[in-house]
A = this chain, B = another copy of it.
Amino acid sequence: MVASLVGDPARANMLTALMDGRALTASELAHQAGITPQTASSHLSKLEAGGLIEPEKQGRHRYYRLTGPDVAGVLEGLAGLAERAGHTRVRTGPKEPALRRARICYDHLAGDLGVQMLDSMRKQKLVRQTKQAIELTGEGKRFIAEALQIDADMLAHPRRPMCKACLDWSERRHHLAGTLGAAVMNRFTELNWAARDPAPGSRVVNFTRAGEKRFAALFGSSEAHS
């Protein structure tokens, strides 16, 4: 049955990451779901056998995408039912809670804090977001220059957008990706506000006490929250 495929948390996370129609590599999907590549490979072949995703081989990468918009539609319908049911039942992912709080997504911040940061940036009108597209406002430019010493003009990249919304698998909401997202995370590390967990292969990001305080000052959630 198809539903049992979607029922597993790890697979659901992968599918959620594919909801926007993009194709992602197997390792990226493993990353997103917080599982090892071996496990992901097993899941992906099941999803493929179930006709939910289809692979596209490209060099040594294997890109996976949803087989069609109808799949996305059903997934969205399921999400809608979950929401209606009062949702709240946050399925524990396969990994630790620290991973849900703050982690690396490729090269930018994800998890609760990542989502909180983008939320705050929207509220402070530092960025404008329409769907997946995010645009830095003039005010935003000034903000990152003053608060983080990041020059927006230096973030241009031939094949990568400066701002991009990335769906967070633990929060099911967007966090900030793109070259700006990477630059911000990089600055956090340089300022000694946060550091990747030393454990090999870990994606956990540990904030220092001082860093957490500064982060809260800039992107704190003291404001009204929906």
Give A contacts to B, CB under 8 Å.
Answer: 1-9, 12, 50-52, 70-71, 73-74, 77-78, 80-86, 89, 91
Q: Knowing that A2-B81, A3-B12, A70-B80 are A-B contacts, what are 6 other residue pairs whose CB atoms are under 8 Å apart, sorted by A's residue number?
A: A1-B9, A4-B7, A4-B8, A52-B85, A70-B81, A74-B81
Chain B residue contacts of A80, Cβ below 8 A? 70, 74
B77 touches A74 (CB 8 A): yes
The contact sample of 7 A-B pairs, CB cut-off 8 A, is A1-B7, A1-B78, A1-B82, A3-B4, A3-B78, A74-B77, A74-B81
Nearest CB of B to A195, in Å: 33
Chain B residue contacts of A12, Cβ below 8 A? 1, 3
Chain B residue contacts of A77, Cβ below 8 A? 70, 73-74, 77
Main secondary structure of the interface of A (DSSP, over half): helix
Chain B residue contacts of A84, Cβ below 8 A? 51, 70
Q: How far is the CA of A80 from the CA of B80 in the complex (A)?
A: 18
Give the residue name and chain of the B residue nearest to A51 (CB). B85
Give the residue name and chain of the B residue nearest to A48 (CB). B85
Q: How far is the CA of A52 from the CA of B3 in the complex (A)?
A: 14
B74 touches A52 (CB 8 A): no
- The winner among A4, A6, A70, A81 for most chain B CB atoms within 10 A is A81
Chain B residue contacts of A71, Cβ below 8 A? 81
Q: How far is the CA of A12 from the CA of B9 in the complex (A)?
A: 18
Nearest CB of B to A165, in Å: 23
Q: How far is the CA of A80 from the CA of B159 in the complex (A)?
A: 38
Q: How far is the CA of A193 from the CA of B66 in the complex (A)?
A: 50
